Amino acid sequence: MTKRARQAALVVLLGLWCGLVVAADPGWDGRGGKDKPKKVELKDVKPSANAGRKGQYNAPTSVGDYSYHLFVPSTYNENNPAGIHLHFSGQGGCADNSYFGQWAKYFLEPFNLIGINMKYPDGDNMKNTEGKVNAALEAIAQVEADYKIIVGRGVVCSFSGGGLPHGRLFSQNGRTRGPDFPFCHMGQYSSNFRTGIPANICSYSWFFSVGSSEWGLAELGSSATSHMLSLLKEAIRGGDSDLYLKIIKGKGHNIDDAEVSASAVLFRRSDLAFAPFLYEPDYPEKELAPLVKQANALTLGPVLGALDRILNDTKTTDELRKKTETLKQRVAARVKAIMSLSNELATNDPVLFNYYARKFLPQLSGLPEGRELQTLGQKVTTGKDFPRWSTQLTALKDVITQAFSTGGCTPLNAKAVPLVEDLQKNAPEKSFIGLMAADFLLLK
């Protein structure tokens, strides 16, 4: 058998295997009965012997032989609490899933996230899917008990058949952010994430990727585009607008650096817009505790004013003053990061700027930066090109509807190329729509 024939046979086998993943009931155990997963009382999870442990290691759960690999970035320490990055690997790959290379490079180290890679030795996401989700919930709870975790600041992602537990975890817990779903960014890398995305849930940034050479594999292409269309309909009505569909020419069934790095760009934005940033147990003082809660509720202006009053009070103790100064520095750094991103978006991506400015303005209310952002917003939205740019979400929805086929290795419909070219022409080059359109045109 030639090399090309072997590759073709492998794609067929992957298609059959992944097709079974798509078709099967996620609760089906593969033996003719429903799974009966062990329930874990997560509220009772206490710090383990691994509490505070550095580096990379494996830890068990109480659900069968399911465990998880943990990666603690070099940026984490007691004075720099972290977020969480949770990954579900695909069929076969979930049996080990110990590789953190791409996650560490683009997410864990740059953004101070502790990585959790779920390990299921049976290698089958269809089998006992509910138990796999319970193990993931236990892993999240244990990491939150063992480390200083800022709950709500994080990423959950999946590859291939890992979309089954990812989707079930989201459907059960993803309507709101909290200890069981501490995430603000969703990443689906060639994922069989078949769960519907309801309206009126908390905000996320959403990333979907698929390669042209795996487009028809288990309907990965049509799945990604259908999710994008669903989210775009809500975005046009004012819903989540930080949405990205990355189609990589020639990519097969693997995760490429280009998609992980692109996904990280979205996390940077949603982290600032939706996620808390302070570890509340570090501030038990009666003067600081309510201010930290208010800051994590993303109302920064009054917090900075109140911190200044504490610092200017002659009765403030040296210990409280030192802690207040540190807290003020962290809140001020958050304000600075928001303004840096806002100025960047105003230059490169007016559509996303308009979306995120509405999220950032309440955070900065009462601050000079809030007035600066408001002035910047007026400049962007009254510009001569903005009326044309403001319709681009609708134009993107039309392109995705008409441009992509549901099977084969060349997803772009030739007749739709002029439509994509028009989208690219009318979008700023560095905008998320301009970047998507450029990727789409590579498929010609």
Location of structure tokens 């996320």: 204
pLDDT at 281: 97
* Model confidence pLDDT, tens digit, residues 103-115: 999 999 999 999 9
Q: What was the pLDDT predicted at 29?
A: 31
Q: Where are the domains of the chain?
A: 3-274, 280-386
Strands, E assignment, 124-242: 149-160, 185-191, 205-211
| pLDDT of res. 410 | 65
Interval 172-213: pLDDT, tens: 999 999 999 999 999 999 999 989 999 889 999 999 999 999
Measure the CA–CA gap between 223 and 425, rounded to whole angstroms. 27
Confidence category of residue 44, pLDDT binned at 50, 70, 90: confident
Q: What pLDDT score does 169 carry? A: 98
What percentage of the chain has pLDDT greater than the value 90?
85
pLDDT range class, residue 354, cuts 50, 70, 90:
very high
Q: Is the pLDDT of residue 38 over 90?
A: no
Do 185 and 267 form a contact (C-beta atoms < 8 A)? yes
DSSP character for 199? S
**Cα–Cα distance list, 13 to 29, 88, 90, 192, 267 (Å):** 21, 21, 14, 16, 34
Q: Are 288 and 296 in contact (CB under 8 A)?
A: no
Amino acid 99: pLDDT:
97
pLDDT band at 18 (very low <50, low <70, confident <90, very high): very low
- pLDDT value of position 17: 41
Is the predicted pLDDT of residue 27 greater than 70, yes or no?
no
Residue-level pLDDT at 411? 84
Range 266-271 average pLDDT: 98
The per-residue pLDDT for range 316-338, each reduced to its tens digit, is 999 999 999 999 999 999 999 99
The pLDDT tens digits of the residues spanning 220-238 come to 999 999 999 999 999 999 9
**pLDDT tens sequence across 411-431:** 899 999 999 999 999 999 999
Residue 342 in tokens: 């806002």
Model confidence at 71: pLDDT above 90: yes
- pLDDT surpassing 70 at residue 3: no
| pLDDT above 50: residue 1 | no
Would you say the pTM of this structure is higher than 0.85? yes
**CA angle, residues 89, 204, 344, in degrees to nearest 5:** 110
Q: Find the length of the chain.
A: 444
Query: With the CA atoms of 390, 183, 338 and 303 taken in that order, what torsion angle do they form, in degrees rounded to the nearest 10?
Result: 130
Task: For residue 269, give every residue at least 6 positions away whose Cβ sits within 8 Å of its Cβ, in sequence order, or none.
Answer: 205, 242, 341, 352, 356
Q: What is the pLDDT of residue 283?
A: 97
- Report the CATH architecture of 3-274: 3-Layer(aba) Sandwich (3.40)
**With bands split at pLDDT 50, 70 and 90, how would you rate the model's confidence at 409?**
low
**pLDDT category, 39, cuts 50, 70, 90?**
low
334-343: pLDDT as tens digits: 999 999 999 9
The answer on pLDDT for 435 being more than 90 is yes
Give the pLDDT of residue 324: 98
Mean pLDDT score of the chain: 90
